[in-house]
Structure 1
Amino acid sequence: MKPGDELPVLSVPVTRTLIIAGALATRDFTDVHHDPEAARAKGAPDVFMNILTTQGLVSRFLTERLGPGARLRKLSIRLGVPNYPGDTLHLSGSITSVSDDERAVEIAITGTNSLGRHVAGMASLTMEAGR
């Protein structure tokens, strides 16, 4: 691992089930995340993903790509365009720094869909010795 290395892309189909289940699992009962009629009444074309589901997908992306020894220490993300059912979220990342002993890693993250950038941010992870 070295600065500039790209992590393999993770593509996640954005389904209505994923959006609703993510909202319920994170106890976000805001109607725009599970009720299409309410979402349309508030100006959206359909239900859309909540930030905690996005955060969970970003965390999954990072830990799957870095392996079982990776421990997420800090995650800072900012949302852009919404994730609607029927689209695909493509998560990518680039290593921005690695400590001398390769135990601490910082990664820039981007997630895009057909509308543009859904999420962007930075993550700090540590790696267990021997991994």
Structure 2
Amino acid sequence: MTSMKTKAFDDVRPGEALPELAIPITVQLIAAGAIATRDYFPGHHDKDAARELGSPHVFMNILTTSGLVQRYVESWAGPAARFADLKIKLGAPNYPGDTMTFSGEVTSQDAASRTVQVTLKGKNSMGNHVTGTATLVLP
């Protein structure tokens, strides 16, 4: 059981900022994420293959990025929050040795459905790696 508290719908307001979360990007994170999501594309675990593709190093797959986005939003919302929708778009690649820092903000709230929308981004040294929105149902 977790001691993490879930946000209550009535306690959240548009404009509320989510705390930033920095994720160090490592070879292990990239390769483990690819393997865990059954993405065996060589560019996610083989540096030589990635270089043959014109990449300086292995790079993160979208499923790992999606999982990190969900981790970020859930760490703010709490374990009883339910994802109703998640839309993300990739930008700059995540390479080992960099850090991706998430930031976000509550951008809308709907009392009828008890949902809040969070707009977020995960930025690394080259720019935004991921941008998107998450819609959550809160108790």
Q: What TM-score comes out, normalization by structure 1 length?
A: 0.94
Q: What TM-score comes out, normalization by structure 2 length?
A: 0.89
2:42 corresponding residue in structure 1: 31
For the pair 1:123 / 2:131, whether they are aligned, the reply is no
**Aligned pair in 2 of structure 1 residues 94, 73: CA closer, same or farther (>3 Å)?**
same
1:44 corresponding residue in structure 2: 55
For the pair 1:57 / 2:68, whether they are aligned, the reply is yes
Aligned partners of 1:75, 1:62: CA distance in 2, in Å?
10
Over aligned residues, Cα RMSD in angstroms?
1.2
Deviation at 1:102, TM superposition (A): 8.3
Gaps in structure 1 of 5+ consecutive residues: none
1:6 corresponding residue in structure 2: 17
Any idea what the Cα deviations from partners look like across 1:80-119, whole Å, max 9, x if unmatched? Answer: 0000001111011110111236831101010100111100
What amino acid sits opposite 1:88 in the alignment? T
**Ranges of 4+ aligned residues in structure 1 off by more than 6 Å:** none
Aligned partners of 2:129, 2:58: CA distance in 1, in Å?
15
Gaps in structure 2 of 5+ consecutive residues: 1-11
Any idea what the Cα deviations from partners look like across 1:63-85, whole Å, max 9, x if unmatched? Answer: 11111221111100000000000
Q: How many residues align?
A: 128
What is the identity percentage for the equivalent residue pairs of Structure 1 and Structure 2?
52
